[in-house]
Copies of this chain bind each other. A is one copy, B any other.
């Protein structure tokens, strides 16, 4: 029921409006299903924020991670994203191909590359971040501030 539905990643889930006249039965008691629904809604907020650029959630995540962890290796990036090494490499290729990130040899390890955001990457991330956060805040505004904090706490416990 979860993302996979997905879920979990790549696919572009379109809105899952409740269809009138349909009996959802036990689906409404399954936490995973409720999570998926909410996540799809959140994704739409993200899509609105990143419209234009081909930025997807994992790419945005990678940009943030690169900025705050300069020199990170592709293997570790893959772990952070929860994907195979080869997938992280493709992602790095994509970022590098648009001049958003670059690979630099690592003095301490001849096998590994260090990943770094370029100036262009930093600029993109700056605008992107503002828009993503604004949309996320607008999305979360369906809840009171108090509820938002509580939600984040509960989600944190679930993901742990």
Contact = CB atoms under 8 A, between A and B. Distances in A.
Contacts of A81: 16
A10 interface: yes
B31 A42 contact: yes
A39 B152 contact: no
A11 B58 CA distance: 13
Interface stretch (A101-109, A110-118, A131-139): A131-139
Contacts of A29: 133
Interface residues of A, number: 80
A119 interface: no
A69 to B, nearest CB: 6
B9 A151 contact: no
A46 B4 contact: yes
Report, nearest first, the 5 A-B pairs whose CB atoms are least far apart: A6-B9, A2-B43, A8-B13, A7-B7, A32-B42
A82 interface: yes
Interface string A49-76: 0000000111011001101110010001
Given A2-B40, A5-B8, A142 B157 contact: yes
A90 interface: no
Nearest to A15: B82
